[in-house]
A and B are shown apart, each in its own frame.
Chain A
Amino acid sequence: MANFYTDNPDLRHHLTHPLMRKIVELKESNFTDAEKFDYAPLDFDDAMDNYERVLEVVGELCGGLIAENAEGVDHQGASCSDGRAHYADGTVANLEACRQAGLMGMAMPRRFGGLNFPITPYIMAADIVSRADTGFENLWGLQDCAETLYEFGDEDQKARFIPRVCEGETMSMDLTEPDAGSDLQSVMLKATQKEDGTWVLNGVKRFITNGDSDIHLVLARSEEGTKDGRGLSMFIYDKRNGGVTVRRIENKMGIKGSPTCELVYKNAPAELCGSRRMGLIKYVMALMNGARLGIAAQSVGVSEIAYREALAYAKDRRQFGKAIIEFPAVAEMLAVMKAKLDASRSLLYECARYVDLYKILDDISKERPLTPEERTERKHYNHLADALTPMAKGMGSEYCNQNAYDCIQIHGGSGFMKDYACERIYRDARITSIYEGTTQLQVVAAIRHVTTGTYNSLIDEYAKTEVRPELQAIKDRLAVLTEMYNSAIAHVAEVNNPTYTDFMARRLVEMAGNIVMAYLLLLDAQRNESFTKSANVYANIAAAEVTRHAEFIRTFNVEQLDNYLVK
């Protein structure tokens, strides 16, 4: 039976990144929990050993039970009857195994029954789970809604709900409505405060992943007469109280094990989480950022399985007297798949580490005032996390779609049949670039970091690293690409036309992404020779992409814009 952690040394490479020492030492604040909790680590090495051991459990569970169940779950799918959603049999078994393994509430503090893991190893678990069953990653990964409860709920709410999540109750975030998808400001679900001060919810939500969960975070309009985001608040709905039914579940193209529900709220009792009017502006934004990182991890898991399936098939399938991997056209596809996989994974963990750092500092600030240096650090890391999250989600999800496409291509006609896992992977991959904000919306979130220079500050930092002589050529090349990127930014700024800037935004964000990922792989190769191949291949991809975009921007006449603005 495969172990999806130990069979993939790249994961350990990212887990043991030098920045982890700082993350762990801050997270475990001098390892004082060891006095109160018998499973808390004694020191840095002990904590790292814990992460590895737990990831081995995740890897074993995923390589065994969850991967084996994936096909059956896809065939059976979730179902809906009597106002409730029902998981496929394999999903029920997977969830039970995750509960028994204590893999729910991984990132929650120990005082609420969690494992107090930093985001980085938790995200690594998500990466592994997604490789085994992409749809199941949703259900398991919704545990990170507890993060939002932890950040914004009051002590009583934390104490009541978070331990339940750690024991295995599932969560959902009820945001989308028929007329409020990408535009969440239009949410209409009505929250009414009764005379006794308690709240009830009425209305409909649509496309809710795991919508029949135990604990829901609900975005609802608490301020009558308002029309925008400032009239929305966040509520906690506890399924034990009743009031919400599942009207139907969607018949989807992929991730069929994850029920996507239409929910009807009829005087459903709920409690306010945090302050009124801050629902969308503050809490849902935080929730979405966490969820986007989760989808970035899910995407990397899909890229991984797509690459592995393609590689195995290319070695096995013989045509013209040899394995098809021996044909350069096939081998190149595999090298490119691996480079995209490695690039998106490096970006994922780079982002996860910054999320860790700012969230841990945030958490510390609830206990004691931060020092001025710590405050500066928190702001800095928060900024980097905000910049890298939409990039990791946007580009990672596009890459996993490309890898799933190439995986089928390598399978040839067989890949078009239902006989191989690749067709399921292809269908499962498709949603990653849509939900939790489409790629186009990730660009909207990322573009300001192009114009304000966040990506440049990262790139400058990466460029300071000395590399081995054999990697110097890549580094020199990336310096040239960075100049092209800067010229493109300057050009777009010079034109100074908002429509034109929007039109070029995706190109600019992708250029930044290409350069950032190429540098990250360069640094990976500097630390670990096994990444040298991918660093070289990805540098070629980045050069081709950056040049293409730069050329497009350089030669584009603003007057052409009308040709693109289809009416």
Chain B
Amino acid sequence: MSLNIIVLAKQVPDTRNVGKDAMKADGTINRAALPAIFNPEDLNALEQALRLKDANPGSTITVLTMGLPKAAEVIREAIFRGADTGIVLTDRALGGADTLATSYSLAQAVKKIGNYDIILGGRQAIDGDTAQVGPQIAEKLGIPQVTYAEEIIGLKDGKVTVKRRLEHGIETVVAPLPCVVTVNGSAADCRPRNAKRLMKYKYAVSPSEKAALSEEKQAFVDARPYLQLNEWGAAFVEADPEQIGFPGSPTKVKNVENVVFTAKDARRIEGKDDAALEDLIKELITNHTIG
């Protein structure tokens, strides 16, 4: 059977190769110092999608990403590796979103896409490491979710069989379609970019990227529908302004501190009453063990 597959992808700062200037003095990420990359586990998810497509000829893969207009880079990268098309969900109103607002916005975009059989995404993004967005999207869409997926073993009769990588072993589960599957970094690496696709799609642009091109280049893109990437805004996906961006994000960052863990002398807190317990908790909070 042919499938409509959605892959959720995020453009993230490459936190794996952090230099000295990776953080600003105020504790936020210095995005200028870190190259923007395809979130690694989203690439693992893309590979699972491509395998589903290989096994089910006629399937299509749509990559959905939310971010700045330049997140179109992620769409192109996915297309070079075999995805069919992509959508950049971008809007000033979406800025400052936490996982709740992000998952709401993406769920709205998924609803707008409408016809889908399976949604795949990385387990988590390397900038936030929350692993919340995939599961929240499943909740908002009211469909099942399978997390920590390592391999999609099979798909038939409207059900998908997934091998999950858990802390102490593996588990195989069967889920009805449509569902959300979030994929672990331990899954197969994504296949490389394909030379022909790279040459064919290298000029693919989103509308805002196209606007920056010369007239001649714009005409070139206009004549080739396959070079036109989709760019959707908040209003287009019918998102409630109260649930997106800053207004829709209950998470507030109060303070970011550099914490350096160092071994200190052991400290013993004596006593059996509440006061001793409170001392213990205060001590653990002070040295950042909890809190």
Contact = CB atoms under 8 A, between A and B. Distances in A.
A238 B170 CA distance: 43
B193 interface: yes
Interface string B201-236: 010000000000000000000001010000000000
Given A38-B226, A97-B191, A100-B191, A115 B198 contact: no
A138 B65 CA distance: 41
Contacts of A49: 202
A53 B199 contact: yes
A39 B285 CA distance: 59
A41 B199 contact: yes
Chain A interface residue bracket vs B: 10 to 19
Contact of A115 (B191, B192, B193, B195): B195
A523 interface: no
A60 interface: yes
B200 interface: yes
B199 A100 contact: no
B202 A100 contact: no
Given A49-B202, A53-B202, A39 B196 contact: yes
B202 A57 contact: no
A60 B192 contact: yes
A101 B195 contact: yes
B104 to A, nearest CB: 35
Contacts of B193: 57, 60, 101
B194 interface: yes
A54 B198 contact: yes
A515 B195 CA distance: 38
Contacts of A101: 191-195
Interface residues of B, number: 14
A39 B192 contact: no
Contacts of A57: 192-193, 195, 198
Given A38-B200, A38-B226, A39-B200, A54 B192 contact: no
B194 A100 contact: yes
B170 to A, nearest CB: 21
A68 to B, nearest CB: 11
A103 B202 CA distance: 17
B61 to A, nearest CB: 15
Interface string A69-95: 000000000000000000000000000
A24 interface: no
A13 B113 CA distance: 46
Contacts of B199: 39-41, 50, 53-54, 115
A92 to B, nearest CB: 14
Contacts of B195: 54, 57, 101-103, 106, 115
A128 interface: no
A39 B200 CA distance: 4
A354 B35 CA distance: 40
A61 interface: yes
Contacts of B202: 49-50, 53
A39 B226 CA distance: 12
A107 to B, nearest CB: 12
Contacts of B197: 39, 102
A60 B192 CA distance: 8
A54 B192 CA distance: 11
A102 B200 contact: no
A100 B196 CA distance: 10
Contacts of A60: 192-193
B191 A102 contact: no
Nearest to A110: B196
A100 B191 CA distance: 7
A250 B191 CA distance: 32
Contacts of A38: 200, 224, 226
B131 to A, nearest CB: 24
A40 B191 CA distance: 23
Which of B191, B195, B196, B202 has the most C-beta atoms of chain A within 10 angstroms of its own C-beta? B195
B105 to A, nearest CB: 32
Interface in A52-67: 53-54, 57, 60-61, 65
Given A39-B200, A53-B199, A102 B194 contact: yes
Which of A65, A97, A102, A103 has the most C-beta atoms of chain B within 10 angstroms of its own C-beta? A102
A54 B194 CA distance: 8
A463 to B, nearest CB: 40
Contacts of A106: 195
Nearest to B195: A102
Interface in A88-134: 97, 100-103, 106, 115
A316 to B, nearest CB: 20
Nearest to A41: B199
Interface string B224-255: 10100000000000000000000000000000
B196 A115 contact: yes
B54 to A, nearest CB: 10
A100 B200 contact: no
B159 to A, nearest CB: 28
A61 B195 CA distance: 12
Interface in B177-193: 189, 191-193
B37 to A, nearest CB: 11
A53 to B, nearest CB: 5
Contact of B192 (A41, A50, A53, A97): A97
Contacts of B192: 57, 60-61, 97, 100-101
A454 to B, nearest CB: 36
A102 B80 CA distance: 11
Nearest to B194: A102
B182 to A, nearest CB: 24
Contacts of B224: 38
A204 B198 CA distance: 43
Contacts of A100: 191-192, 194
A100 B189 CA distance: 13
Shortest 9 CB-CB contacts between residues of A and residues of B: A39-B199, A102-B195, A101-B192, A39-B200, A100-B191, A102-B194, A54-B195, A39-B196, A38-B200
Interface of B: 189, 191-200, 202, 224, 226
9 contacts: A38-B224, A49-B202, A57-B195, A57-B198, A61-B192, A100-B191, A102-B195, A102-B196, A102-B197
Given A39-B200, A54-B199, 20 more contacts: A38-B200, A38-B224, A39-B196, A50-B198, A50-B199, A50-B202, A53-B198, A54-B195, A54-B198, A57-B195, A60-B193, A61-B192, A65-B189, A100-B194, A101-B191, A101-B192, A101-B193, A102-B195, A102-B197, A115-B196
Interface of A: 38-41, 49-50, 53-54, 57, 60-61, 65, 97, 100-103, 106, 115
